Structure 1
Amino acid sequence: MLTHSNPLIKKQIYDRISFLGTVSKADLMSEFPLTSSSMTRLLEEMTSRGLIVISGLGSSTGGRKPILFQTNPKHRFVFGLEISRIYSVLGLYDLHLNPLSQARWKMDDRMTPDVLADSVANTAKAFLTEHGITSADILGIGIGAVGPLDHRNGIILEPEWFPAPSWRHVPICTMLEERLGIPAMLDNGANTALIGEHWALRSETIRHALYVHAGVNIRSAAMSEGRILRGAADTEGAIGQMIIQMDGPKLRNKGNSGALEAFVSVPALEERVRAELIAGRISVLSGEAPDRVNFAALVDALSQNDSLVMEQFTKTAVCLGTGLANLINALHPEYVVLGGPLVSAHPLVFDIAVEVAKKNAYHYPEYNPLFTQGQLTDTAVATGAALMVLQHWPID
């Protein structure tokens, strides 16, 4: 039998209270191998330290109403940072992951690693002043970034498509630790998004989940038995190299021929529409110079039900659904979360992708995963990054 003084069991119980939100002693006793007296002492100790608080009384079946506990949201605070190709987001959170402040930066050609790190540090310090918090109250900063990464050493390796130069071998954790004086942790943004969405959906007791982000490229993360699946390398972008058409095109002459990203990505969509405009197709974009037609213009044209743009978004959605079916048939998730600018551009993208994925899922409809755009949507990466720090916090 473990004792209440074991640091590991303390952390596990704290994490369980955090995950469930509100629990009674009996709820915890059913899950942990402690005696009643040991559990009582542990809860009293954690309450006296301010780690947890009494949140009220539960319902009774005839005896005393049980005392309910929850983690203390103001005991400490945590930062979550998303680094993406289009924008980056910093959030300050309490320990219930309630967002207290948030800032966003456009990732244009001026946003080099040093400029972003300085902006993050200055904004983070302003957040602390605004909320009367000191750096001693901060557990750390979690970072969800575009890969590939060396997440153990906190380095962004060689990501593609960043507008600014010098996003190569960036020691982002060291850069922020030096500027802020707090620990930093790094993981790829698909993983932190899935961590965040899994937390947001915790009442559903999900064990197996898939997250796919469709934007400048295709990124994915998978979870089994509540844990992120990791391979021998950081592979969040590997889904983009899934071949869905033998001898098909390459995206900008890189990667596999007929790879998913050559059909499902912002650059691929832009290239297809530009080619159709050059060929003389009629569109609300016909008056524009083809090389100046960008994703924002496509989304605007789609909102006007432009037939050319709708046709190309539909093709994108069909190909996305095909890639999803391949992943689903290999991983068998319960939940499939779809995110990214391509998915959020218009409901037809999500609807068509899901329809195609279901049609090609093995054993459907007997096996019928739930498809969703998630609870956190565009804050999932930053929220999950903050949660990553909380999960690794050694409360002793």
Structure 2
Amino acid sequence: MSLLPIQEKIGSRKHKEIYELVRRQGTVSKIELLEQSQMTGSTLTRTLEELTHQGWLVEAGFGESTGGRRPILYQTNPTAAYVFGLDISRMSSKLILCDLHMNKLDAESWLMDERMTPDRLLRDIADAAERMLHKHQIAADAVLGMGIGAVGPLDRTTGIILEPLYFPAAGWRHVEVARYMQERLRIPVLLDNGANTAIIGESWSDRNRDYRHLLYVHLGVGIRSSMMAGGKVVYGAVDMEGSIGQMIIQTDGPRIGNHGNFGSLQTYASIHALEQQAQSRLKQGRESSLRYKEADPEKINYTHLLQGLKEHDPLTVEIFSQAATYFGIGLSNLLNILHPEKVILGGSLISSDPSFFQIATRVAIRNTYYYPAYQVVFSQGHLGEEALVTGAAIMMINQLTEL
């Protein structure tokens, strides 16, 4: 199957430059574009006319006069194309359909339980995508493609999810997700890890601040992270999504199951870590309201812990506070090495209770070597749990201006 590369839809370098300038600012005048692009007036006029004629830009009225004629304002055309964003995670997965202004037209979610094998999920997603296009009367050739943010490790080049841990269902090994979606829907598909798509989404949502060095950490079943430097996602020789979870906090510490380093950060700060801590302390005889939620300590899970936290159960609060402290130590190690301007923290543990974020960031700051000369901004982001799926869609739109 032959698909036109997205990068070729907007042809020349100058067309891409002007489109990106308009896209980043929302609404911009021709005068402002002339100053920002350093093009000659005739070249800019011709470029704007061509982009408008092709449907990528639309005239959006007139700006305020500075003495002469009121300047024409330009915006990107939201209906010039459409895009899918897909988040494949361990607890739930989500598909969205958006226009080029990231207005969400439709969405569907799936619980990732023990029945949700790769075959079933991919089939359900493709069915949902087809229903969405039919419902909104969008032809397949009007879709830029589908961006996918998934749990790693994965191979971005071949579009394969490799050997992720902790999926409830069997079969999540070497899943050719990009090939399946491309052949089924006949649209371009890009795969990246969910932490990378999340940082793309958060960076775009905060683009007016122009942070150049960002760190994103997602704390849930595992620890997922990504880094952006100079406005670009940093990639390593292999997929790095889960690497900081293997940062060693205590050399003689335990590990979860038979995977990873002993005494790693993930062993102390993750959903599995909290569950194991609760089970262990209940077996030791610690008093807790958790005992009245489940008679068998081995069956205590994260849902029980959230209930205990909401009820201010002392043991549950202690377990969450300890995990937040360990996470803060790991975070300080990252700050001392990477020195990002802004750190965005996401995931179910971060959002479990305000105290988790507060404890973790306070511990991180206390252990940051160059503080207070080095100041970092901590945030829970603008998009929350929507960051991964939103960033996946934006990743596809970004391809329009890639050279």
TM-score bracket, shorter-length normalisation: over 0.9
C-alpha displacement of 1:262? 0.5
| Separation in 2, partners of 1:362, 1:99 | 43
Correspondence 1:115 to 2:95: no
Partner SS for 1:256: coil
| Separation in 2, partners of 1:386, 1:70 | 19
Superposition map of 1:243-392 within 5 A: 243-287=248-292, 288=294, 289-392=296-399
Structure 1 unmatched runs, 5+: none
* Of 251-260 and 322-331, the range deviating more from structure 2: 251-260
Q: How many residues align?
A: 392
Check 1:395–1:241 CA distance in 2 against 1; reply closer, same or farther (3 A cut): closer
C-alpha displacement of 1:33? 4.1
Counterpart amino acid of 1:84?
S
Equivalent position to 2:28, from 23, 30, 33? 23
Check 1:395–1:44 CA distance in 2 against 1; reply closer, same or farther (3 A cut): farther
* Of 107-116 and 246-255, the range deviating more from structure 2: 246-255
C-alpha displacement of 1:215? 0.6
Partner SS for 1:368: coil
C-alpha displacement of 1:251? 1.9
* TM-align CA RMSD: 1.5
Check 1:364–1:395 CA distance in 2 against 1; reply closer, same or farther (3 A cut): closer
Check 1:275–1:6 CA distance in 2 against 1; reply closer, same or farther (3 A cut): closer
* Of 246-255 and 71-80, the range deviating more from structure 2: 246-255
C-alpha displacement of 1:61? 3.1
* Of 27-36 and 278-287, the range deviating more from structure 2: 27-36
* Of 246-255 and 120-129, the range deviating more from structure 2: 246-255
Residues 214 and 229 in structure 2, CA contact (< 8 A), matched pair in contact too: yes
C-alpha displacement of 1:13? 2.0
Counterpart amino acid of 1:168?
R
Correspondence 1:41 to 2:46: yes
Equivalent position to 1:152, from 150, 157, 163? 157
C-alpha displacement of 1:224? 0.5
| Separation in 2, partners of 1:389, 1:53 | 21
* Of 303-312 and 363-372, the range deviating more from structure 2: 363-372
TM-score by length of 2: 0.94
* Of 297-306 and 240-249, the range deviating more from structure 2: 240-249
1:94: which partner in 2? 99
Equivalent position to 2:146, from 141, 160, 163? 141
* Of 55-64 and 232-241, the range deviating more from structure 2: 55-64
1:169: which partner in 2? 174
| Separation in 2, partners of 1:316, 1:135 | 46
2:197: which partner in 1? 192
| Separation in 2, partners of 1:13, 1:149 | 34
C-alpha displacement of 1:292? 1.4
User: What's the % identity of the aligned pairs?
Assistant: 49
| Separation in 1, partners of 2:352, 2:234 | 29
| Separation in 1, partners of 2:313, 2:158 | 47
